[in-house]
Chains A and B, each alone.
Chain A
Amino acid sequence: MLCRIADLLIEVPEAGGMSPRCREYLTNQQGGADITIRADLYKSEKYGGAGENTVAYMESCIQFCRQLIHFDGLYLHSSAVELCGKAYLFSGPSGMGKSTHTRLWQQLFGDAAQVFNDDKPALRRLDGRWFAYGTPWCGKDGINQNKKVPLAGICFLRRGQENTIRRLDEMEATARILSQTMRRFRDVERLDLLLSHIDKLVKEIPVYELYNKPEPDAARLSYETMRQGAEEAGL
Chain B
Amino acid sequence: MKLNGKFVLRQVAGNWVVLPLSDATVNFNGMIKLNESGVMLWRLLEQGKDREALADMLTTVYDVSREIALEDVDEFLNKLGRAGCIDLQ
Which residues of chain A have a CB within 8 Å of any CB of chain B? 169-171, 173-175, 178-179, 183-186, 188, 191-192, 195, 198-199, 202
Contact = CB atoms under 8 A, between A and B. Distances in A.
A178 B15 CA distance: 14
Contact of A186 (B13, B14, B21): B21
Contact of B12 (A174, A179, A188): A174
Interface in B8-33: 8, 10, 12-15, 19-24, 29-31
Contacts of A174: 12-13
Interface size grouping (class) on chain B: 10 to 19
Given A179-B30, A188-B8, A199 B22 contact: no
- Among all A-B residue pairs, the 3 with the closest Cβ atoms: A170-B13, A184-B22, A171-B13
Interface of B: 8, 10, 12-15, 19-24, 29-31
A171 B8 contact: no
Given A175-B30, A175-B31, A178-B31, A186 B12 contact: no
A6 B42 CA distance: 39
B21 A185 contact: yes
